[in-house]
């Protein structure tokens, strides 16, 4: 296991913040050291330039210079600038063509390596340079001194030690580093505190999630903090727990209802088989018992088929979707439904109403609504299947002339295993799953389904889907 995976998240956050602060302090110290060094070096060059200008003013213009006058004026200037040796007092010297050297310092800087080339009268030029003498670095300004004819008579040199400037720059860097270290330590402590405080709801969330079981899905994470990322995550977890709780509740109810629905036909089959196993039954009674057994087995077969259909739909089981002309779909549903009932089935669907969907899935949804209507519509009644387009919605309606739906049943009419109260045909064989299958099929198509009571009697089921424009070719109608 690597080190980062063993460190708590709050400590990793604090470590990251501390690292960033530390890098910032180091960068600031380096920038300050380099900047101050450059600034002090520039100040040193300006100070040496002023010394050279002062010497030039003391010896006068080149038009009045002679060798004897130059020596005399240079001696006077050097003597005037001679005093106690300090780190900030410049070293001044003049080297003449004869080799004579005048200096205001006991430090023989003219003997430093490379100084002879700088002070050579024959090759002297105005410039700045660095020279080393006894482990000390000096910044020097070199100025050649010439006579009226341009002949170089001497070389003037002013030098300052670079150590004071370097000490100032280093001291500033050290001071910034010390202050920065204090800031880093404070930032590390503060970031660790803030990280732990910010992540505390996450630890509570993890603890709550670890305690959630099938028997305690009602647990929720307590959070009263700000509406930030952590708050959003906690709310998302609570919403997920609520969905899980609702899903498991629905699953428990579904299993309980399915068990109940299967228990009744199984009990009937068991009872009649025991009756058949006994003696003394007349042929008529035996035939009747066998008929009941087969009827109940068929009922269980339909229930299992509906359960499997719902399971496939819950898993998102739709085939490939394609453009469908609803007039063709409505006509097909009415044709198949007419074989299931004794009442009259009418259609009302203009051409060129299109929707995108799975042909078999939508046909099953409409056919289930027709079956549901056929179960409550008398033989002299009418079922009307229609389709139309209203703006951007394609609407399919199945209306009947039956007794309608009780107001108390309307909110639960699409629940699984829920059967509305009221008269039904004895051979309807409903499992209580037909309308639930319709709802799931419509939802998978991104639509809605609702049930109403008509003002003149009967029930109305309305499916709304997203309408599409007519495809560019005629393939859609054929596919439907």
Match 């920065």 to its residue by tokens.
Answer: 180
Instruction: Determine the average pLDDT of the residues in 428-454.
Output: 83
| DSSP bridge partners of 460 | 399, 452
Q: Please report which confidence band the pLDDT of residue 358 belongs to, taking 50, 70 and 90 as the band edges.
A: confident
pTM as predicted: 0.49
Residues 6+ apart with CB under 8 A from 448: 442, 463, 464
Name the more confident of 101 and 201. 101
d(CA 66, CA 68): 6
- Contacts with 215 (C-beta within 8 Å, 6 or more apart), sequence order: none
Q: How confident is the model over 142-193, as pLDDT tens digits? A: 999 988 888 888 899 999 988 888 888 888 888 888 888 888 888 888 887 8
Give the fold, CATH level 3, of 3-169.
Beta-Lactamase (3.30.450)
Q: Do 157 and 92 contact (CB within 8 A), yes or no?
A: yes
What is the rounded CA–CA span in Å between residue 221 and residue 235? 8
Provide the pLDDT for residue 480. Answer: 42
Taking residues 83-93, report their average pLDDT: 81
Domain ranges (residues) in the chain: 3-169, 229-313, 318-479
At residue 142, the pLDDT reads 92
Task: State the pLDDT at residue 361.
Answer: 85
Other C-beta atoms lying within 10 Å of the C-beta of residue 254: 18
Least confident of 184-193, 217-226, 385-394, 465-474: 217-226
Q: What pLDDT sits at residue 3?
A: 46
244 Cβ contact list (under 8 Å, min separation 6): 217
* pLDDT for 124 beyond 70: yes
Which pLDDT does position 426 carry in this prediction? 47
pLDDT tens readout for residues 359-390: 888 888 898 899 888 888 888 889 999 999 99
Which of left, alpha, beta for 175 (phi over 0: left; psi -120 to 50: alpha)? alpha
Least confident of 15-29, 126-140, 230-244: 230-244
Confidence of residue 477 (pLDDT cuts 50, 70, 90): very low
Higher pLDDT, residue 34 or 200: 34
Asked whether the predicted pLDDT for residue 34 surpasses 80, the reply is: yes
pLDDT at 284 exceeding the cut of 60: yes
The stretch 404-417 carries a mean pLDDT of 85
What pLDDT score does 310 carry? 63
Residue 279: pLDDT above 70? no
Higher pLDDT, 205 or 387: 387
The better pLDDT of the pair 293, 348 is held by: 348
Highest mean pLDDT among 48-52, 164-168, 184-188, 468-472: 48-52
CATH architecture group of domain 229-313: Orthogonal Bundle (1.10)
Q: Which residue has the higher pLDDT, 261 or 100?
A: 100
Which option is the CATH number for 318-479: 3.20.20.60, 1.10.150.130, 3.30.565.10, 3.20.20.140? 3.30.565.10
* Residue 173 backbone phi and psi in degrees, to 5: -65, -40
pLDDT of res. 315: 62
Backbone dihedral angles phi then psi of residue 399, each to the nearest 5 degrees: -120, 145
């Amino acid at each position: 296991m690597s080190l980062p995976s063993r460190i708590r998240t709050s400590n990793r956050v604090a470590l990251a913040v501390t690292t960033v602060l530390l890098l910032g302090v180091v960068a600031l110290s380096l920038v300050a050291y380099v900047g101050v060094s450059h600034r002090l070096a520039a100040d040193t060059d300006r100070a040496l330039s002023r010394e050279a200008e002062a010497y030039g003013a003391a010896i006068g213009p080149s038009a009045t210079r002679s060798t004897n006058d130059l020596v005399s004026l240079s001696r006077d200037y050097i003597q005037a600038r001679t005093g106690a040796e300090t780190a900030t007092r410049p070293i001044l010297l003049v080297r003449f063509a004869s080799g004579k050297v005048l200096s205001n310092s006991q430090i023989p800087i003219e003997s430093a390596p490379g100084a002879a080339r700088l002070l050579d009268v024959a090759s002297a030029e105005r410039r700045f340079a660095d020279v080393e003498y006894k482990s000390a670095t000096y910044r020097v300004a070199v100025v050649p001194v010439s006579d009226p004819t341009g002949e170089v008579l001497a070389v003037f040199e002013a030098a300052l030690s670079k150590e004071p400037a370097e000490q100032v720059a280093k001291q500033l860097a050290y001071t910034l580093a010390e202050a920065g270290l204090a800031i880093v330590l404070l930032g590390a402590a503060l970031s660790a505190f803030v990280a732990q405080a910010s992540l505390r709801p996450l630890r509570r969330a993890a603890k709550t999630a670890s305690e959630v079981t099938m028997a305690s899905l009602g647990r929720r994470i307590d959070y009263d903090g700000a509406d930030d990322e952590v708050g959003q995550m906690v709310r998302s977890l609570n919403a997920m727990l609520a969905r899980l709780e609702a899903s498991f509740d629905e699953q428990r109810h579904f299993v309980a209802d399915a068990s109940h629905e299967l228990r009744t036909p199984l009990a009937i089959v068991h009872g009649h088989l025991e009756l058949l196993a006994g003696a003394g039954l007349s042929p008529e009674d035996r035939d009747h018992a066998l008929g009941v057994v087969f009827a109940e087995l068929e009922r269980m077969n339909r229930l299992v088929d509906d359960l499997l259909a719902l399971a496939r739909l819950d898993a998102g089981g739709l085939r490939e979707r394609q453009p469908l002309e609803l007039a063709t779909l409505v006509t097909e549903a009415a044709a198949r439904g007419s074989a299931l009932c004794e009442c009259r089935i009418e259609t009302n669907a203009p051409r060129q109403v299109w929707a995108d969907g799975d042909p078999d899935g939508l046909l099953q949804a409409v056919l289930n609504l027709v079956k549901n209507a056929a179960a409550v519509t008398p033989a002299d009644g009418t079922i009307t299947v229609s389709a139309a387009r209203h703006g951007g919605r394609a609407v399919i309606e199945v209306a009947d002339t039956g007794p309608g739906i009780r107001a108390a049943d309307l909110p639960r009419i699409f629940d699984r295993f829920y059967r509305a109260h009221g008269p039904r045909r004895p051979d309807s064989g409903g499992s209580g799953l037909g309308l639930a299958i319709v709802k799931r099929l419509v939802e998978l198509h991104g639509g809605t389904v609702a049930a109403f009571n008509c003002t003149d009697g009967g029930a109305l089921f309305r499916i709304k889907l997203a309408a599409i424009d007519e495809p560019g070719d005629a393939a859609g109608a054929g596919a439907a």
